Amino acid sequence: MTSFVLPRSIEAINPRDWETFAPYFKELAERPLTPENLRQWLTDWSDLTRLLFEAASMIYIEKSQDTTDEEKEQAFLDLIEDVFPQSQVAVQSLKERLLTFDPNNAALQDMTLVLRNMQNEADLYREENIPLFTEASKLENEYDKITGGLKTEWDGEEKNLSQLGFFLNDKDRAVRQKAWQAISDLWLSQREPLNAVYGQLLELRQQIAHNAGLPDYRAYAFREKGRFDYTPEDCLTFHEAIETAVVPALRRILNRKKERLGYDRLRPWDWVPEKGALVDDSDGEPLRPYQGQDALIQHTLNIFNQLDPQLSRYFATMAEDGLLDLDTRTGKALGGYCSALPLRNRPFIFMNGVGSHDDVQTMLHEAGHAFHVFETAELPLIWQTDPPMEFCEVASMSMELLAAPYLTNQYGGFYTSPQSARARIEHLEGIIAFLPYMAVVDAFQHWVYTHPQQAAEASQCDAAWTKLYDRFIPDIDWSGHEDSREAGWHRKPHIFTAPFYYIEYGMAQIGALQVWRNSLQDRVGALADYRQALALGGTKTLPELFASAGAEFRFDTAMLTELVDLIERTTAELEKNTLS
């Protein structure tokens, strides 16, 4: 039996104070353990972890909802300065207790991968790294503050980066150029502060790796992220496959757009990779699928009801429980995410909607993550609900593709049939455009963390980024804007706040395309495989999760060539529908 009763909600506690959690960790550390009571001890630890994680998630969510609120920022700082450091020490002690038990113990029969991950984490743990993690979190928060506060006047109104980004999809080239220039100017105005933040982050991360006895932060990151099923060399092979199979297809897309639009060359405002904004060369007005959060929710709910009533019920639950914050506003952190609230077994979706088709894609993407949380709710221990990030993104990217047939008004979606065809072409061409950009971001970090002395100079980072751009991002004329291209790495938040977390998107995209390929042959079966794989959580290896979803975990030229061919054939068919 448990020796403590946990609070049922975070409203009943002070989540900013370590003393809120300390007595429960102390009891777990001191409770006599036997093979007979081990499972109850694990359940209690799991429940405590749910409480702590939900508290941390809500503090992060509230901080990102308003980066100008000093009280919310202080709550976040209290979390990373007080609660996190001491919880890491306490958790390490519990891991060490657990790992003394025979893994064949009956209480551990369903924890093979959990134990593998915990052993890896315990081996990687160094107490001297805890204050370094705290300092890194502060610097990552500084990046959010700097970028979340960027704004300028646009036609008499103040606009933030997300609001300006809306105009990057405008059909009028002059409007796109004006928006791109405004965004570029804002980023370049913070070039020196962002260089300083990154320089400090590099130094901290390298020290963290050395403290753990590893040669560089790349080696540390691969261990930290539990990348047991692939190596840095596999990532480089993936980059090469993208260069061989995807970049030529991207060139075909760009050349076709240039010819249709009558341009003599494409400029940076015709394709903005970090925003997924690729110039629309179709006839008709720009896609403006919705106005306001309520409309986005309702149309998305209709789409999910067509796809799968249970998924629709999940999404409706989020709307009913106030777990959706979808519209952009001044002071809101950039980007979008889905955060798990494990105490309630609920997800929360955060994004910066402005009424564009990109917002529709983001909504479907984050909903895929949310469905992952719902589908794993029956797994008994919190660690079992934690799949590898590479498969988390299969959940989200597959949902974008599986939901695509229901975007039309016929199903309560956002578009007429011709508009839906345009939106789907935009999405599929965006996948082709994304993979080379993903390779730039990932390859840049491989270079940075294996060349730390060179990377300490911001100008060397600029040069490395530019070289990779030349390799993967073809046929864009940057003349007159070379400084913005050089500093393009500033505009990808992952590089600052989630180091080495980007290859996951590429790997997951290949998995998602295979799920979509299967759905074209058997929609019901592919969706069933998808949901079955989600429900496995972290109880299977990465290749096993891909296989359960009906996909292969491979990223070679042959696989990419097959999928690129499928995309190009599908877009050719959709082109016919845009004329109806």
What is the model's pLDDT at position 563? 98
Crossing angle of helices 22-30 and 38-65, in 10° steps, is: 160
Over residues 139-156, the mean pLDDT reads 93
pLDDT over 70 at 287, yes or no: yes
Over residues 445-467, the mean pLDDT reads 97
Does 83 map to a domain? yes
Over residues 174-184, the mean pLDDT reads 97
Over residues 313-325, the mean pLDDT reads 98
279 pLDDT band, cuts 50/70/90, is: very high
What is the model's pLDDT at position 579? 67
**Quick count: other Cβ atoms within 10 Å of Cβ 189?**
13
Does 23 map to a domain? yes
CB neighbour class for 229 (10 Å; exposed up to 12, middle 13-18, buried from 19): middle
Among 3-7, 372-376, 443-447, the least confident range: 3-7
Does 27 map to a domain? yes
Number of domains into which the chain is organized = 1
pLDDT over 60 at 2, yes or no: no
pLDDT over 80 at 3, yes or no: no
Does 39 map to a domain? yes
Over residues 265-279, the mean pLDDT reads 94
Asked if 124 contacts 212 with a C-beta cutoff of 8 angstroms, the reply is: yes
Which token pair is 476?
A: 């864009």
Q: What is the pLDDT of residues 209-248, one digit of tens each?
A: 999 999 999 999 999 999 999 999 999 999 999 999 999 9
Does 274 map to a domain? no
Q: What is the pLDDT of residues 55-69, one digit of tens each?
A: 999 999 999 999 999
Q: What is the pLDDT of residues 197-208, one digit of tens each?
A: 999 999 999 999
Enclosing domain of residue 67: 10-109
> How far is Cα 178 from Cα 539, in angstroms, rounded to an integer?
50
What is the model's pLDDT at position 577? 81
Strand 157-160 versus strand 151-154 pairing type: antiparallel
pLDDT over 70 at 558, yes or no: yes
Contacts 24+ apart (CB under 8 A), 530-533: 530/395, 530/398, 530/402, 531/308, 531/371, 531/375, 533/391, 533/394
Compute the mean pLDDT over every residue in the chain, rounded to the nearest whole number.
95
264 pLDDT band, cuts 50/70/90, is: very high
pLDDT over 90 at 166, yes or no: no
Does 246 map to a domain? no
pLDDT over 60 at 130, yes or no: yes
Determine the 3-state secondary structure of 445 from DSSP: helix
Does 497 map to a domain? no
Q: Where are the alpha helices (DSSP H) in 190-216?
A: 191-211
Q: What is the pLDDT of residues 481-503, one digit of tens each?
A: 999 999 999 999 999 999 999 99
Over residues 261-288, the mean pLDDT reads 91
The residues that bridge with 151 in the sheet, in sequence order, are 160
Q: What is the pLDDT of residues 527-537, one digit of tens each?
A: 999 999 999 99
pLDDT above 90 covers a percentage of the chain that reads 93
Asked if 450 contacts 487 with a C-beta cutoff of 8 angstroms, the reply is: no
Using CA atoms, how far residue 407 sits from 362, 549, 567, 574, in Å, is 14, 23, 18, 13
Determine the 3-state secondary structure of 561 from DSSP: helix
334 pLDDT band, cuts 50/70/90, is: confident
Over residues 244-271, the mean pLDDT reads 97
What is the model's pLDDT at position 286? 80
Does 48 map to a domain? yes
pTM, rounded to two decimals: 0.92
pLDDT over 70 at 119, yes or no: yes
What is the model's pLDDT at position 195? 98
- How close are the terminal C-alpha atoms of the chain, in Å? 67
